[in-house]
Amino acid sequence: MSKLFAKKQLSVLLSEASDSEKGLKRTLGAGSLIALGIGAIIGAGLFVRTAAAAGQHAGPAVTISFIIAAFGCALAGLCYAEFASMIPIAGSAYTYSYATLGEFIAWIIGWDLVLEYALGAATVAIGWSQYLNKLLTNVFHVTIPYEWCHSPFEISDAGVRGMMNLPSVGILLLLTMLLVRGIQGSAIVNNIIVICKVAIVILFIILGWQFINPANHTPFTIAADAGTVTMHNGQVVDYSNFFNHGWGGVLRGAGVVFFAFIGFDAVSTAAQETVNPKKNMPIGILVSLAICTILYILFSYVLTGIAPYKDFVRAGGEASVAYTIDTYMHGYAWLSTFITVAILAGFSSVILVMLLGQTRVFYSMSNDGLVPPVFAKLHPKYRTPYRSQWMFFVFTTLFAAFVPDSVVGDMTSIGTLFAFVLVCIGVIIMRKNNPDAPRGFKTPWVPILPIVGALACLTMIISLGLENWTRLFVWLGIGFIIYFNYSVKHSKARKMMD
């Protein structure tokens, strides 16, 4: 049992963080990390999941859902910042858990992070496909056939069943090729995209404010007697359900829009490629999270003020921002096209960071012997985990091409929230076991703040429902099979205990 919870010593982790010709190359500064965080955060969560949460659960009160989600993320972000300043190693929550909670919990987190990064990338790739189709229709008057831009589980109003989401596969391929060539070039591309993306969000807020109809914000939460609405895939939304109206709906909405905040922790996966990580990692995590939270609250308020929330169940379900502009902001057709182009670029940056984060987690797990050595194999020229990058391209593509975004998005949220809970707990344990270890940043009010953070994330997990819990347990079950049949035999920490 003791080996099951074998811990990786802090001294060993710090030695691995030192520069090495054989390791990952340090090229990122504070500015690049902030841009990396914003690049990962602002994306499908804002432009796609906001409409889903408003239309199906929270209504105009999705603004409050964002505040609740931001509160949980902020508390977890403070814990991430302390860990990142202490342990500047690729691996994020996985590495932190290995040092505090032991190998078995670290494995659960590492396996769980596949739900966040790989499936997160798949979710955003699906959203990218939706906006590409919108752009082609509006500008070039060409539409990708429904069956080639939707999963087999989706059916159009005309009764056409999807077969495969080809555009999502295309963008995943292009970004994987970019990442294989190296993170510095990827970061430059990301910085350019982030500037455009933030400018677009601000532009929509400013121009859209004058089109807000106060009637759309009344009542602010969905009423229990709001009836039912049928979605484009045939699913019926019943607003009498506890989590589809009132404060129950606001809470469920928080679990849904939580996806919009996923990404700030991806900054921590680049710790081993960061210059002066003890100083720059906390800045990158907390500043990017603060900027995005302010933009999210304003954006969701404007979006739900322009269009009635029920619009987002059907007509506005795909490419919701472009739909809102085309339908309610007359005279701003140019803005719809402009925003669609910027969103496509923005989604690309999110996918870029998600794919980056996933391979860096498995890079650390491979170095620890918990997954095969192929995941730590670096390119002889670019010093990137190129084989791992291509393997996760195949894995992510299967979900992006054949599974609806609603399913993949909720799996991403529940996986990430679970990781956040353990990071919050880990800070408390690390303070007790290693009180004198150097910390470039300290989480305030320990243990109160981490406990509140863990409880906030647990509350959002509960709101996601039994179906998503079932998927999580199935996924973890697959992970346990791999752990007990491969990882326990190759674990370096276990061998050191022999």
Specify the pLDDT at position 21: 43
What are the per-10-residue average pLDDT scores of the chain (498 residues)?
A: 72 63 62 78 78 92 94 87 75 77 87 84 89 87 90 83 93 91 65 81 94 95 90 79 91 86 71 72 84 93 96 75 91 86 82 84 89 90 87 94 80 83 90 84 91 92 83 90 93 80
By the 8 A CB rule, do 127 and 48 touch?
A: yes
By the 8 A CB rule, do 355 and 175 touch?
A: yes
Cis peptide before 435 (omega within 30 of 0): no
Specify the pLDDT at position 78: 86
Specify the pLDDT at position 63: 96
By the 8 A CB rule, do 220 and 60 touch?
A: yes
In the chain, what are the domain boundaries?
22-491
Rounded Cα–Cα distance for residues 125 and 313 (Å): 20
Tokens of 343: 């969103």
155 strand-pairing partners:
161
By the 8 A CB rule, do 39 and 190 touch?
A: yes
Neighbour count for residue 185 (Cβ, 10 Å): 13
End-to-end CA distance of the chain: 14
Tokens of 306: 């322009």
Tokens of 325: 């502009």
Q: How far is residue 238 from each of residues 78, 225, 231, 245, 440, measured CA to CA in Å?
A: 38, 9, 11, 9, 49
Specify the pLDDT at position 210: 95
Specify the pLDDT at position 186: 59
Domain 22-491: top CATH class: mainly alpha
Please name the residue that has the structure tokens 């922790």: 265
By the 8 A CB rule, do 306 and 208 touch?
A: yes
Residue 237 phi, psi (nearest 5): -95, 115
E strand or H helix that includes residue 105: helix 103-135
Specify the pLDDT at position 316: 58
